[in-house]
Amino acid sequence: MNLPCVIATWSFGAPACRAALEILEEGGSSLDAVERAANVTEDDPDVTSVGYGGMPNADGIVELDAAIMDGRRHTAGAVAALTGIRRPISIARLVMERTRHCMLAGGNARRFALAQGGEDTDLHTDRTRAAYAAYRERTDQPAVVHFDDENHDTIGICALDADGHLAAACTTSGLAWKLPGRVGDSPIVGSGLYVDDEIGAASATGNGDEIMKVCLSYRVVMGMERGMTPTEACRDGIAYLLRKRPDHQAQGAACIALRKDGAWGAAATQIGFDEMSRRWQHAYGARSVVTLSEGPYVARG
Ligand code: GLY
| Residues of the domain holding 68 | 5-298
Strand partners, 158: 7, 168
Listed in sequence order, the residues at least 6 apart from 133 whose beta carbon sits closer than 8 Å to its beta carbon are none
- Residue 25 Cα to ligand 1 middle (Å): 31
Q: For residue 277, what pLDDT is reported?
A: 59
Residue 175 CB less than 6 A away from ligand 1: yes
Answer yes or no: are the C-beta atoms of 153 and 49 closer than 8 Å: yes
Residue 174 CB less than 6 A away from ligand 1: yes
Residue 193 Cα to chain centre, angstroms: 7
Answer yes or no: are the C-beta atoms of 41 and 54 closer than 8 Å: no
Rounded Cα gap, residues 96 and 241, in angstroms: 29
Return averaged pLDDT per consecutive 10 residues of the chain, 301 residues in all: 90 96 98 98 95 95 98 98 97 98 98 96 96 87 49 87 98 95 97 98 95 97 98 96 80 92 93 65 94 84 53
User: Ligand 1: which atom is nearest the Cα of residue 178?
Assistant: 5
Rounded Cα gap, residues 255 and 154, in angstroms: 11
Helix (H) or strand (E) holding 13: helix 13-25
- Nearest CA residue ID for atom 5, ligand 1: 174
Answer yes or no: are the C-beta atoms of 264 and 219 closer than 8 Å: no
Distances (CA, A) of 149 to 56, 103, 272, 275, 277: 14, 30, 11, 8, 11
The DSSP symbol for 85 reads B
Domains contained in the chain, number: 1
Catalytic residues: 154
Residue 184 CB less than 6 A away from ligand 1: yes
Answer yes or no: are the C-beta atoms of 5 and 284 closer than 8 Å: yes
Q: For residue 278, what pLDDT is reported?
A: 65
User: Ligand 1: which atom is nearest the Cα of residue 209?
Assistant: 4
Burial code of 4-32, b = ≥16 C-beta within 10 A, e = fewer?
Answer: bbbbbbbebbbbbbbbbbebbbeebbbbb
User: Ligand 1: which atom is nearest the Cα of residue 175?
Assistant: 5
Residue 164 Cα to chain centre, angstroms: 22
Q: pTM of the prediction?
A: 0.95
Residue 206 CB less than 6 A away from ligand 1: yes
Helix (H) or strand (E) holding 75: strand 75-83
- Residue 64 Cα to ligand 1 middle (Å): 10
Distances (CA, A) of 25 to 11, 83, 123: 22, 34, 32
Residues in the chain, overall count: 301
- Residue 51 Cα to ligand 1 middle (Å): 13
Residue 162 Cα to chain centre, angstroms: 23
- Residue 255 Cα to ligand 1 middle (Å): 12
CATH (domain of 265)? 3.60.20.30
- Residue 100 Cα to ligand 1 middle (Å): 26
Residue at 193: amino acid letter: L
CA atoms within 13 A on the CB side of 269: 27
Residue 265 CB less than 6 A away from ligand 1: no
Q: For residue 138, what pLDDT is reported?
A: 83
Residue 185 CB less than 6 A away from ligand 1: yes
Rounded Cα gap, residues 260 and 165, in angstroms: 8
Rounded Cα gap, residues 179 and 143, in angstroms: 6
